[in-house]
């Protein structure tokens, strides 16, 4: 059996106190700097386009013949509801219109329909929006969110790239069709 020896070294037995004051000084300064520079409202942007007249030459007859049958998506937003119309640019047009509520559940349903359209037609990347005069900006942004953004719950196969090449959008291009002089 071994006996524990008592330390006779007075230096080892002395209480060591840590001077935390410089540490607190640095923390205080860091806190002040961060509080001054903090931005508590993060601002983002939603990009939309308006129709414009172009002076480019009209497509030639041969090019017109070559044009393929593309999907066109139109959304009409009123105070009452949101109507989603999908149709093709060439015969058979197969026009299909569905109405949804302007509340969160209605807009989620519309988003699901847009995801299924994107899955069926991955080349389509624009939506034309027609908005009634009484609809407020808050409601417009809710609709735009459901059109443009791809949520984690959506299929990974549906996406359009943003300007930085990241796959973040469902339908990147939204055109405000009712903005015309």
Partner 1 sequence: MASVGNDDGEQISLNIMPMLDIFSILILFLLMSFSTDPVSHDLNGSVELPESDTLNSLDEVPTVAITRKELIVNDKTIAPINAGELPKKYISQGAVYDVFKELEKLAEANKKFVKKENKKNASTLTIEIDKGHSFKLIKSIMVSAQQAEFVVFKMMVSKSRG
Contacts with partner 1 by CB under 8 A lie at: 17, 20-21, 23-24, 27-28, 30-31, 34-35, 37-50, 52, 131-138, 140-142, 144-145, 148-149, 151, 162, 168, 176, 178-181
Q: Whole-number minimum distance, CB 114 to partner 1, in Å?
A: 15
Find the shortest distance in angstroms from Cβ 100 to partner 1. Answer: 18
84 vs 107 by CB, closer to partner 1: 107
CA-nearest of 126, 134, 138, 112 to 176 is 126
Least distance between partner 1 and beta carbon 160 (Å): 13
Alpha-carbon distance values, 85 to 31, 93, 125, 140, 155 (Å): 53, 11, 15, 17, 22
- Would you say 69 or 80 has its CB closer to partner 1? 80
Closest distance of CB 47 from partner 1, Å:
5
Cβ contacts of residue 28 below 8 Å, gap of 6+? none
Q: Shortest gap between Cβ of 174 and partner 1 (angstroms)?
A: 10
CA distance 87 to 90: 9
State which residue, 93 or 141, has the beta carbon closest to partner 1: 141
Cis bond before residue 92 (omega within 30° of 0): yes
Measured from the CB atom, is 46 or 119 closer to partner 1?
A: 46
Choice between 44 and 92, CB closer to partner 1: 44
Give, in order, the Cα–Cα distances in Å from 166 to each of 1, 85, 112, 138.
70, 28, 22, 26
Distance separating alpha carbons of residues 151 and 170, to the nearest angstrom: 9
- Show the tokens assigned to 130: 């027609």
């Amino acid at each position: 059996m071994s006996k524990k020896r008592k330390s006779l070294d007075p230096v080892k037995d002395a209480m060591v106190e840590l001077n935390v004051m410089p540490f607190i000084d640095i923390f205080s300064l860091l806190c002040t700097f961060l509080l001054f520079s903090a931005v508590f409202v993060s601002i983002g942007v939603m990009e939309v386009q308006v129709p414009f007249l172009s002076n480019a030459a009209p497509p030639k007859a041969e090019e017109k013949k070559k044009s393929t049958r593309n999907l066109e998506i139109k959304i009409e937003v009123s105070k009452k509801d949101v109507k989603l119309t999908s149709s093709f640019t060439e015969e058979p047009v197969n026009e299909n219109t569905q109405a949804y509520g302007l509340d969160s559940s209605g807009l989620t349903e519309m988003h699901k329909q847009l995801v299924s359209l994107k899955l069926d037609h991955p080349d389509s990347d624009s939506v034309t929006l027609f908005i009634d005069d009484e609809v407020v900006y808050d409601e417009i942004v809710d609709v735009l969110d459901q059109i443009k953004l791809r949520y984690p719950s959506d299929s990974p196969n549906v996406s359009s790239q943003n300007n930085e090449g990241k796959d973040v959008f469902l339908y990147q291009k939204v055109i405000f069709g009712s903005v015309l002089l």
